[in-house]
Structure formats: C-alpha cells, structure tokens
Structure 1
C-alpha cells in the first residue's frame, strides 16, 4: 500500500468525544436538589433506567458537580417483579419518587428536568418545541418506536413489511403538533 503524502489528521480522541457528549445541549442543570437515588435491576430488566444511567446521568453529574447521586443496581430474578425508581430529595426536605418502569431514558430525563430544571429548562423546552426540534437528543427514536408500536397494534398481521414501512414513514411526516411561526406559512 502506498504511503500517503501530506499530514495525517487523526480522528477525534476518546476524551474529546466524551467531552462533546457531556457538553451537548441542553445543559441538564437541576435546581434545589440535595440527592438523587436510583434503584434498578443490575441486568436483564429495566432497560430504560439502565440506559438513563449510562446516557443521561453522566450529563446530569457534569452539570451538577455538587449533587449527591447514588445508583443501586440490585440483582433481580425473572420471578421477581418490582419497578425501577428514582427518589429525588430537595434541599427543603421534600422527596419525590419517579417511576422509571417501561420508559425511555429521554422520558426519564425529561421528567426529572420538569421536576427540578427550573426556569432555564422551561425556556429551553418552549424554544425547542417552537422550533420543532426534539427536546433531548435521541427523542426522535422514542417517537418512532411509539409510532411503530401503536401501528403494529392497529394493523393486521397480513401487512407486508414494505407497507408497514411506508405507513410509518407517512405517520412520521405528518406533524404531531400544529406548525408555528414561519413553518406555518411555508408549504
């Protein structure tokens, strides 16, 4: 194989990719919290909660370095039936419990931010909705999965995969909320 001429530009380092993920918008800063305690299965269950711990919790830790966060991964057998939960303790002593069962990691993050995100979160959320953007990165996958699940429940089993794909594409192209601003004027 011939040698390349010129300078070699290395790909982004692992550290730069991690920092890009931690600094990605929106900033998940929580106000008035003392502690978050998560309890979930160590394996084989509670997928949304486990994805939340891997994807969103590092961003929450990065934005809130003084917040105490405890994650309890408990061994769970198939016979046991208990739901993952997050207990949020506020600085004034109040506590709130978030049920994380059968939810996507983005849904759990949105619920937590709605609980303690404050005015900056509300401003960001309204701006994202007005612009027609997803509130959190990865939320579009959640919407696609919900549409596919709803569609599979409503369609007959005799539909071909091409017909299903076309119907899902059609559902995704239809707006879920009315257009606002310049988008309402444009075709």
Structure 2
C-alpha cells in the first residue's frame, strides 16, 4: 500500500503540475558523448570511462524551476550508429529543440554534422530550435578545435564538457 504523497515528494514529482514542457533530442555520431551529457544533466554524475552504446532511443525527464515557472524537459538520447538513423528520424518531428553533438577531438564527427542537418531538414518541424555542441572540451584538443570551423554553423555553436560540467548550465 502506497502512503500519501508528502509535499516534498509532490514538489519533486515529474507528474506534478508544470507550467510548460519541451522535448529535446541529442543527435550526433556514436561516441560523441550524448549519453554522458544526458546523465550529467539529469543526475549530475559523470560516467567516467564507462562507454554505453545507446540502442535506438533512451530518454530522461527533469523538472526545472525557472523563476516562478516549472518547466518539464524530456531529453531524448539517440543512437549515433547509422543503422538506427531511420528509427530516430521518426522522432524528430516531436522535438522542440535539437542539440547536434560532435566530439571536438574527432574531426569526422564534426564533418558528419552536415548529414545530421540534412536529416533534421527533412524530418523535423520548421520551427525547431537547433544548437551545435562541441563536446569533450576538457580533453587535450590543441590545434583541433581551431581546424573545425564552419562560418555557416557559428551562430548555433557552443562548447561543453560533461565531465567538468563546463557550459552545461547554458544549454
């Protein structure tokens, strides 16, 4: 038998009243750190050297207090492997925001952003918010970051480290 919900439980519940909700999808090649970003955001922990390959799609919910408003975010972590792209593309149209993640130490993951953008253009709604995220900035990237520039993508670009929580709050 379940005991009555305490005020504290009600406040922390994902099923309580919220003012609004948004769906955010993390997209990008395999091994770019999408799952680490999700775990850091939701649980404030880092999966140190524990690689977990996402199969299909996984998601987490989190309610944020922004001023006097309660905002529910449902963050979807997608598989980066090519074989899952047709599955994950079917979810694009439900997203309010898409984070295109690349690994700043892996040039190929940056170059594949164009492929991800093509899928977004084909499947996502026109008004979806896009942000390009360079992840793993805590790693030794001297010279690599400067080489990965695209003037057309600069307006939506940001950098973060899920290991060091660097810039995660801005997202």
Q: TM-score range by the shorter chain?
A: under 0.3
TM-score by length of structure 1 reads 0.24
- Higher relative CO (Cα under 8 Å, sequence separation at least 6) belongs to 2
Q: Over alpha carbons, which structure has the higher Rg?
A: 1
Higher share of residues assigned strand: 2
Higher share of residues assigned helix: 1
